[in-house]
Amino acid sequence: MSAPGAAAPDLGGGAAAPEPMPARDREQGSSTQTSHRLLAYSDALLSIIATVMILPVAHTKIHPDQKLGESVQQLLLAKIAVYLMTFLIVTVAWAAHVRLFQVIEFIDDVLALLNLACMMIITFLPYTFSLMASFPEVPFGIFLFSICAVVIGLIQAVIVAYGFYHPHLLNRQIRVSENQNFYKRHILKIILRGPVLCLLAAIFSFFFIPLSYVLLGLVIIFPHLTRFVSWCKTKIVGQRDEEEEHHSLETFTFYLSEPLSKERVEAFSDGVYAIVATLLILDICEDNVPDPREVEEKFHGSLLEALSEYGPNYLAYFGSFVTIGLLWFVHHSLFLYVKKATRLMGLLNILSLAFIGGLPLAYQLTSEFAEKSHNEIEAIQISCVITFFASIFQFAIWTAALHERETLHSFARYGGKEHAFMFAKLALYPCVSLGAFFLTCLLSEFSTAIFHVMQIVIPFAFLALRIFVRISSTVIKSVLSLSRWKAVLLEEEEACLSPTETLS
């Protein structure tokens, strides 16, 4: 359009002042913008939407007389399914969004508004899942979801078309590439494969609903499936196949085979951790403020006495916050060592986050049932299991990173103090939660005490971890050097003895 013409005066105006803005930024005048803040906002929206559906799960009222084991199965299953489906679908949409904005690096007002429209439809998805969970036999829920997915795909296709029509918005490498059409087709394929499957699901929903659900499941696992198939192919056929593919694509650069930018993985994870940490206080504020009349009648006007009834709730709140905060801390420490995130690491991160999102449920269970003998142990064991899986997947990210080249900074590789320290940090939560789980099985009458002691001790364990690792590595080193020293001494003695012998 008239972008170059409009840009000229702005460029002049901008160039007149020596601002700290990067030069790239105003290449096309001020109507072209870096996408940084748009992406940060999208990440925040997507992470909150992915996680917030745990609230209806956590708020499910379970009658205290019911056994938790049965009621979980009966009441929570549909809501947990909604949560998991939302979480997984939103992460798929997020991954597609990341790929899309790796191709389109700059935005203008039209792209910003199109992106907002896309976000609006994505935030509506949880409602379609709620309908599906309540009416599994009615095709309307799945039809509505599919329509939303198709609309999202269409908006993103429009974004791609707009970006390639205004090449100054594209990634620099693609802009100068001769193969623009190849990139266009590639990114359209990534964006539209989900919506096409959904369209099929929408059509089949009126004839044969189970097939629709299968197709929906396929949308979630499709990206990983294709990756897995190509991985298997490489393993069987050998490395040659992949190399050939790379050759045929000429300038097929890293960012299309490397799907996730580290910054956006971090931003998305931060959003999930932050929303989970803050949702808890909502429950505290709504449920644990005593009724003024009740205080007057039951506790003779003593607020302190009334509040002391809620003791376990406060303990559960601080315990959950500490758990989430420390798991964020471990994640933060881990990603300081990570140079780039592979697709497998991204998948493991998302699995870890899915369990992080389950922590409000753990809070609700431990705060509500901590004092009722029926469900006490089960509530604590569920909490331990959620914590265990959240932390073991973090550990898996680390092992996955260790087994690939160029994923970690060199100082974090095998050997060295930093490696040992990171290992200890990552291993702490899986070990402790597993230990607590088995301890509650053995000493069931002390389960609450065990759980609370665990939650209080862990922060101090993290503070002492560096000292512990330093001491143990010093001990190991001194033991090793002592044995070596002894060996050296013996050798020297022998060496000394032999010359003296020869001398004497």
**414-443: contacts with its own copies (CB under 8 A):** 416-418
Using rule CB under 8 A, residue 172 touches its own copies: no
CA 120 to mean position of chain CA atoms: 21
Minimum CB–partner distance for residue 284 and its own copies (Å): 5
Residue 47 zone, left/alpha/beta (φ > 0; ψ -120 to 50; rest): alpha
The footprint of its own copies on residues 258-317 (CB under 8 A) is 266-267, 270-271, 273-275, 277-282, 284-286, 288-290, 292, 295, 303-304, 307, 317
Angle at 288 between CA 285 and CA 289, to 5 degrees: 75
Cα separation of the two ends of the chain: 100
C-alpha to C-alpha distance for 80 and 77, rounded to whole angstroms = 5
Using rule CB under 8 A, residue 37 touches its own copies: yes
Provide the token pair at 216.
């929906």
- The CB-side HSE value for 5 (13 A sphere, CA atoms) comes to 2
**Given the structure tokens 């799907």, which residue do they identify?**
259
Residue closer to its own copies (CB basis): 17 or 503: 17
Neighbouring residues of 326: CB distance < 8 A, sequence distance ≥ 6:
429, 458, 459, 462
- The residue from 3, 110, 151, 203 that contacts its own copies (CB under 8 A) is 110
- The residue from 24, 67, 69, 109 that contacts its own copies (CB under 8 A) is 109
Minimum CB–partner distance for residue 122 and its own copies (Å): 10
Angle at 84 between CA 205 and CA 333, to 5 degrees: 145
The footprint of its own copies on residues 461-490 (CB under 8 A) is 462-463, 466
Minimum CB–partner distance for residue 222 and its own copies (Å): 25
- The residue from 339, 372, 477, 484 that contacts its own copies (CB under 8 A) is 339
Using rule CB under 8 A, residue 116 touches its own copies: yes
The residue length of the chain stands at 504
Residue closer to its own copies (CB basis): 105 or 376: 105
The footprint of its own copies on residues 440-459 (CB under 8 A) is 459
Three-class HEC string of 147-159: HHHHHHHHHHHHH
Using rule CB under 8 A, residue 334 touches its own copies: no
Applying CB under 8 A, the span of 50-58, 61-69, 200-208, 227-235 interacting with its own copies comes to: 50-58
CA distances from 64 to 71, 374, 464, 480 (A): 10, 8, 40, 58
The footprint of its own copies on residues 138-157 (CB under 8 A) is 138, 140-141
Minimum CB–partner distance for residue 260 and its own copies (Å): 16
Using rule CB under 8 A, residue 131 touches its own copies: yes
- Environment class of 117 (CB within 10 Å of its CB; exposed 0-12, middle 13-18, buried 19+): middle
Minimum CB–partner distance for residue 40 and its own copies (Å): 6
Using rule CB under 8 A, residue 69 touches its own copies: no
Residue closer to its own copies (CB basis): 178 or 286: 286
Using rule CB under 8 A, residue 404 touches its own copies: no
Residue closer to its own copies (CB basis): 304 or 442: 304
Provide the token pair at 295.
């205080």
Minimum CB–partner distance for residue 192 and its own copies (Å): 24
Neighbouring residues of 348: CB distance < 8 A, sequence distance ≥ 6:
393, 394, 396, 397, 400
3-class DSSP assignment, residue 63? coil
Provide the token pair at 1.
């359009």
Minimum CB–partner distance for residue 498 and its own copies (Å): 38
Minimum CB–partner distance for residue 134 and its own copies (Å): 5
- The residue from 101, 183, 204, 321 that contacts its own copies (CB under 8 A) is 321
Minimum CB–partner distance for residue 437 and its own copies (Å): 25
Using rule CB under 8 A, residue 53 touches its own copies: yes
C-alpha to C-alpha distance for 368 and 312, rounded to whole angstroms = 8
Question: Would you give the binding string for its own copies spanning residues 198-237, x where CB under 8 A is met?
Answer: ----------------------------------------
Residue closer to its own copies (CB basis): 34 or 180: 34
Neighbouring residues of 500: CB distance < 8 A, sequence distance ≥ 6:
none
Minimum CB–partner distance for residue 131 and its own copies (Å): 6
3-class DSSP assignment, residue 430? helix
Using rule CB under 8 A, residue 74 touches its own copies: no
Neighbouring residues of 183: CB distance < 8 A, sequence distance ≥ 6:
103, 174, 177, 256
Using rule CB under 8 A, residue 112 touches its own copies: yes
Q: How many residues bind to its own copies according to rule CB under 8 A? A: 93
Neighbouring residues of 83: CB distance < 8 A, sequence distance ≥ 6:
53, 54, 56, 57, 357, 358
The footprint of its own copies on residues 7-36 (CB under 8 A) is 9-10, 13-14, 16-17, 19-21, 30-31, 33
